[in-house]
Amino acid sequence: MSGQGFHVHGPHDHELEHAAQGHGDSHTSSIAMFTAIVATVGALFGYMGGATQANAGLYKNNAAIKKTEASNQWNYYQAKSSKQNLSELALALAPGKKDFYEGEIKRYKSEKAEIKVGAEKLEAEAKAWDQQSDEQMHQHHRWAQATTVLQVAIAMAAIALLTRRKWLEYVMYGAGSTGVVIGVLAYLHI
């Protein structure tokens, strides 16, 4: 544009003016809309993937705590077994105190039975926490797969937009659909 009012439009200027007046390319608009939607869904999937990974870690930690508690109970059980064995030995060596040592043996057997039930309960809880952790990690992997496929769809959208290749649009829509399906599988815990 010159100072005397003479104005020359280039092809690019004409397209910009045309787009600014609301006559933009519907092809470009649809790809832009697709990219925005897929990016939003991908962000949600990414969040869910992080949340399930954090849950898996917490559940694994709970399992480790329960395993430690169970191990402590089994050590306590072993201590009672040792005391029971000493009482049985004492009974054999000192038959004059038969009633006392038989009572001790009976008491240790009873205490061991209670300790065993507690230890087995803790082991079952640890196993349940481990299973929940494994399920959360599986779900995390699904969310991560869905997010990755959606990122590929966004990349394909950019390439399709730049090259204007129709087949890349099909790849873009296919990848986007696949990512959403994988996200639904994650949501359904499949």
User: What tokens appear for 47 in the block?
Assistant: 């969040």
Domain annotation covers residue 1 = no
Domain annotation covers residue 54 = yes
Domain annotation covers residue 12 = no
The SS3 of residue 94 is coil
Domain annotation covers residue 149 = yes
Domain of residue 147 covers 31-187
Domain annotation covers residue 93 = yes
Domain annotation covers residue 72 = yes
Domain annotation covers residue 174 = yes
pTM: 0.71
pLDDT tens digits, one per residue of 98-128? 899 999 999 999 999 999 999 999 999 999 9
pLDDT tens digits, one per residue of 14-62? 544 554 454 456 778 889 999 999 999 999 999 999 999 999 999 999 9
| Domain tally, the chain | 1
